[in-house]
Structure 1
Amino acid sequence: MMIISAISKDMFLLESFCRKDGALSIAVPGQLAGLYKAHKEYGKIQWASLVKPAEILARRGFNISEALFQKMTKAKAIILANNELQSIFAPRGKLLIEGQTIHLRKLADTLAAIAKDGMNSFYNGVIARSLAEDIKKAGGIITKADFEKYRVITRKPIGARALGYDIVTAPPPAAGGAMMILILKILSNYGTNGVPIWLEMHRYIEALKYALALRMNLGDPAFVNVTNVLQTMISTSFAKSLKDQINDNKTFDSAHYGSKWSQVYDQGTTHICVVDNQRNVVTMTTSLNSIFGSKFMSPSTGIFLNNQMCDFSVTSSHERPPSPANFVQPFKRPLSSMAPTILVKGKQVKAVIGAAGGILIPDAVTQVLINHFILKMDPFTAVRIPRLYHMLYPDVVFHEKFTTKAGQYEYKSKVLNELKKRGHLLRVCSSWTICQFVIQKLSGPDSGQLVAVSDPRKGGAPAGY
């Protein structure tokens, strides 16, 4: 199995500050290079045939979903202040509404060129030149040479044993997989018979806090030696030692869990899981980072550009210094929370999972796996039920309470009261993560059957062909 590190996560020049948006927040996009590399290694269909549907969708347009309209509404001031964004989302000076059609015609032309020329035009040709010129005009410093220097890195995935399966997940600079494995190993040391749900949740939160504290010791392995930290995080004996430190009757302040460094609050992302009829699988997370990325769309190409520079450790927060493992360096990839994951038994795929939601990705992935494999929920219920989140700083448990067309998401008061008794500070949140989950039945009359769930929080639905 192969993990390709090329998902909008490249660094081009040493910077001493972080910009949340604008041209200086942009890192050289890596998604296209990663997709093209995967196609060259494993693809059977012509590249142009793969890109053409995206071009058609951009040119013909698509209807605004409930979730997209909510994001547009939150970003209304940004959209109306930017000519390019306004031309897409508010072409007559007023935001389009849910159900109306968005067209991305400039992007369609760019995709047509990519379909024809592969990644060459994007990194070495006219698209690279246009992107660099647009970024420079907006005050950025990325050059065409930076695009030309971009290289895909192929790394060996993390492998560990948990829940009775072999788990394969993304290695650093993605931190989500190691966090997930540590939490699962801690919780696997407990029995589940007769354990009330609120106690399961308390133990989960405690395990998550330990994982978050360790997360900031990880970074790009091409620049930082993360071997010892990574081996510790996936160690069964280390997980057992942490389990023994968890108190079922109380929680502690964030410093108790060994946190040395301030957190990086990476954001955004989207995720897809695919399984074919030969049981080849893809679990892929991509990201612009924040909503609308850098808030900058290239006028000449129609490409929305990321603000991944913010994922480096630059500023301090909560009286803790930034993590040296994630300092900015040329050509370094910043830390992320991505956790694309595959579960295998023998040589058969059991599950494929991943999530969107920035720093909260491990929360979503781990909770769905716990729900299905430990608490024995069916796949849809495992994804559908409410989730809770913790970021270590602030020392707050966020719990979902909101309503969509798919239904209501809310915890019972008894569960919340029991968490309060143990010292957890609770706050309500909306839908912060979206999880995709595919299960293959490995025994019984339905052996080989796939069950796929696309998170209904954003109106998702699985598709089969």
Structure 2
Amino acid sequence: MSQIPRRVTRGAIAAGHSLSVEAGMEMFRLGGNAFDAVAAAACTSFAAEPMLTSPAGGGFLLAHPQSGQDVLFDFFTQTPCQKRDPAEVNFYPVIVDFGGVLQEFHIGLGSIATPGMMAGLFRVQQHLGRLPWSVVLEPAIHLARQGIEVTPFQAYNLKILSPIVLASTAAQALYAPGGNLLQAGDRMVLSDLADSLSEMALKGVDLFYRGEMGQQIVKDCQAQGGYLTRTDLEQYQVIERKPLRTDYRGNTVLTNPPPSAGGTLIAFALRLLEQIDLSQFKFGSIAHLRILAETMRLTNLVRQAGYDEQLDQPNFADRFLSREHLEEYGQPLQAIAGLGNVNLGNVNLGNVNLGDVNKRGSTTHVSAIDEDGNAASMTSSNGEGSSYVIPGTGIMMNNMLGEADLHPNGFHQWRENIRIASMMAPTIILQNNQPAIVLGSGGSNRIRTAILQVISNLLDFQMPIAQAVSSPRVHWEAGVFNLEPGFPDAGDDRTFPFDNVVERWQAQNMFYGGVHAVTHSLDGFAGAGDSRRSGEVGVQNE
């Protein structure tokens, strides 16, 4: 790597792969800050975490700069500017087997939304980073070129997404050379991706949006049944938003604002939960689990009341989180906590089919914090991938137009040229206006419940960060209470506050998200990578 004559920066970074973490740590050793570390880790994840993220996906980065205003960089995917006859569109279903549970996804060039990943990373790093862009990309380029040993988690991802990997010869060449999926222990060499990142290191990301790569994307989409045009790529804009701000137990919580969905729902759940003094309950007790279940049930209930349709309205978050609105939902939770009485059997749960929920959540996350008070929380995704690989680049495009949970009104019914709503919720918790906790998660609809529980573990039960992340989780949705093992007082199914299904899992699973988190306190830096998604952490305290 290039040698930059700067002092080593103390800090911490957590991500979904040890090599992603190491790339961020190298930026700290070169004197870079949290934004350099996150950008380097994210670019490395394109090689180290295949099928979870990509230069052709999208994401969000929540930034707390040492100086300046908190800002949410929105570089998620955008719907195309124009539609075409669905009969002309290359858009088809594949069935993914999650170990006996089947789920349908749609791929092909017609599933590709306008990507924002490289535009977003470049904007953040250029505005807030310290190191040259070319240096930030060096770890990713080096690792992609020399090859990466496939981990069991990577092999698992490739196996369950094999219908997508095997759907095109270009995708097979990357992840199933000779028609055989890469297995744990195999070496995965991504030379074309290394060349692509090398070009972007020298020429910037305009190469992707206005240069040869972009021209190839447009050419293939127009000829082979995709929506994207030159206008989509050339006019894509990274949006800087004011983060959603709420309080919890005297701490300031910053998260993703509307029009994304996840952050506001987390804030709503936290405000409900704050009405209960959880310190009087034992972690994992029946009372605690009842409170979590009811908080999640009420949050789902409020989402059914036209929530998604109102996200882009002015001042929506203020109205949604107002005391008057919260009072409508607080009484059932207080009853569960023993502060009143309510008959939960009479509450209308609505018509939700859990079969429509993305059970995997093809997402990854990076959290970083440094000694100067910079903090960055970034969540990104490529969907499941469209199977279309830009020729000669090693880059698979996203399938965000083929994600059922992102398009509740049906495929091809999206509004043109708007930012797609997401459940991603990169989050930072401030204490005395200084970043104390940085976290986020993958996991589709489980993102918000995973983040909620880790925050509660940290602030209500005063757990160390590693314990807060590794502790068992629950998830309530569509009448099903999913329960990880490890709660000693869980009892039998009759102990829970509804007449629906209790799903007891036999082991911790990526279904429950993957919270990668870092903290800073008087004791120094610490962090945790979620083992559910093969997470790792790196800490530089000296």
The bucket for the TM-score relative to the shorter chain is 0.7 to 0.9
- Residues 1:363 and 2:449 are matched in the alignment: yes
Greater RCO structure (CA 8 Å; 6+ sep): 2
Partner residue, 1:403: none
Give the whole-Å Cα distance in 2 for the aligned partners of 1:220 and 1:125.
36
| Shift in Å, 1:327 | 6.5
CA distance in 1, matches of 2:383, 2:205: 22
**Which region of structure 1 is more displaced relative to structure 2, 155-164 or 261-270?**
261-270
How far off is 1:366 after superposition? 0.3
C-alpha distance 253-231 of structure 1, shift in aligned 2 (>3 A): farther
SS at match of 2:180: coil
Question: 1:56 and 1:421, CA in 2 relative to 1: closer, same or farther beyond 3 A?
Answer: same
- How far did residue 313 of structure 1 move? 7.4
Mean alpha-carbon deviation: is it higher for 244-253 or for 45-54? 244-253
Distance change (3 Å), C-alpha of 1:88 and 1:423: same
Q: Structure 1 CA distance, aligned partners of 2:396 and 2:108?
A: 11
Separation in structure 2 between the aligned mates of residue 116 and residue 356 of structure 1, nearest angstrom: 31
Q: How does 1:63-82 map to 2 (within 5 A)?
A: 63-82=149-168
Report 1:213-232 matches (<5 A).
213-215=301-303, 217-218=306-307, 224-228=312-316, 230-232=317-319
Structure 1: distance between partners of 2:406 and 2:152:
35
Give me the whole-angstrom Cα distance separating, in 2, the residues matched to 1:437 and 1:314: 26
Matches within 5 A, 1:62-461: 62-196=148-282, 197-215=285-303, 217-218=306-307, 224-228=312-316, 230-246=317-333, 247-248=335-336, 252=344, 256=348, 265=357, 267-290=361-384, 293-310=385-402, 322=409, 328-392=414-478, 395-400=479-484, 409-412=485-488, 414-417=490-493, 419-420=495-496, 422-429=498-505, 430-432=509-511, 433-441=513-521, 447=522, 449-461=524-536
Once the two structures are superposed, residues 20-75 of structure 1 have per-residue CA deviations (whole angstroms, 9 ceiling, x without a partner) of: 21111110110111111112321221111112221112111111111111111212
Deviations 1:302-357 (A, max 9, x none): 111111124587876xxxxx49xx97222201211011111112221121110011
Q: Match of 2:107, SS? A: coil
Are the counterparts in 1 of residues 79 and 419 from structure 2 also a CA contact under 8 Å?
A: yes
Please identify, of 230-239 and 336-345, the stretch whose mean Cα deviation from structure 2 is larger.
Answer: 230-239
Q: Give the CA RMSD over aligned residues.
A: 3.0
Give the TM-score, by structure 1 length. Answer: 0.85
Question: In the alignment, what sits opposite 2:72?
Answer: 3
Which TM-score applies when normalising by structure 2? 0.74
Number of the residue aligned with 1:404:
none
Name the SS of the counterpart of 2:379 in structure 1.
strand
Q: Secondary structure at the match of 2:419?
A: coil
Quick one: distance in 1 between partners of 2:82 and 2:492? Answer: 47
CA offset digits 1:148-200 (Å, max 9, x no partner): 12111111111111121111111122211111111111111112244352222
User: Hey, what's the Cα distance between the residues in 2 that align with 1:357 and 1:47?
Assistant: 30
Which deviates more, 19-28 or 188-197? Answer: 188-197
1:274/1:282 contact within 8 Å kept: yes
Correspondence for 1:13: 82
**Quick check: 1:106–1:300 contact (8 Å CA) kept in 2?**
yes
Structure 1 pair 262/16, CA: closer, same or farther in 2 (3 Å)? farther
Q: Distance in 1 between matches of 2:165 and 2:504?
A: 28
The C-alpha deviation readout for 1:436-462, integer Å capped at 9, x for no partner, is 112222xxxxx1612211112233220
In the alignment, residue 171 of structure 1 is paired with which amino acid? Answer: P
Aligned residues of 1:357 and 1:434 also touching (Cα < 8 A): yes
Rounded Cα–Cα distance in structure 2 between residues aligned with 1:327 and 1:165: 41
Supply the distance in 2 between the matched residues of 1:239 and 1:385 (Cα, whole angstroms).
Answer: 28
Q: Which residue of 1 aligns with 2:95?
A: none
Between the aligned partners of 1:254 and 1:32, the Cα distance in structure 2 is 49
Shift of 1:253: 6.9
* Cα separation, 1, equivalents of 2:170 and 2:331: 55
Q: d(CA) in 1 for partners of 2:291 and 2:539?
A: 37
CA distance in 2, matches of 1:32, 1:315: 24
Partner-residue secondary structure (3-state), 2:325: helix
Distance in 2, matches of 1:411 and 1:128, equals 51
Where structure 1 has 5 or more consecutive residues not aligned to the other structure, the ranges are 317-321, 401-408, 442-446
Asked if structure 2 preserves the Cα contact closer than 8 Å seen for 1:13 and 1:329, the reply is no
Seen in structure 2, the aligned counterparts of structure 1 residues 313 and 438 have a Cα distance that, compared at 3 Å, is closer
Worse overlay, 14-23 or 370-379: 14-23
Residue 251 of structure 1: CA displacement?
7.9
Change (3 A) 1:137 1:64: farther
Residue 242 of structure 1 aligns with an amino acid whose one-letter code is: Y
SS in 2 for 1:142: coil
Return the alpha-carbon distance in structure 2 between the equivalents of residues 231 and 312 of structure 1.
28
Tell me if structure 2 keeps the 8 A contact 1:10–1:29: no
Summarize the Cα distance change of 1:416–1:385 in structure 2 as closer, same or farther, 3 Å threshold: farther
Contact 1:182–1:234 (CA under 8 A) maintained in structure 2: yes
26-35 vs 46-55, which moves further: 46-55
Identity of aligned residues (%): 24
Please, which moves more after superposition, 335-344 or 430-439?
A: 430-439
- 2:539 maps to 1:464: yes
Alignment check: 8 A CA contact 2:122 2:205 kept: yes
How many pairs are equivalent? 439
Q: Is the 8 A contact 1:297 1:303 kept in 2?
A: yes
The alpha carbon displacement at 1:421 in A equals: 6.2
- Cα distance in 1 between the residues matched to 2:153 and 2:186: 13
Q: Residue 163 of structure 1 contacts residue 184 of structure 1 at CA under 8 Å; is this kept in 2?
A: no
Q: Is the 8 A contact 2:300 2:477 kept in 1?
A: yes
Q: For the Cα contact (< 8 Å) 1:372–1:378, is it kept in 2?
A: yes
Q: CA deviation at 1:362?
A: 0.1
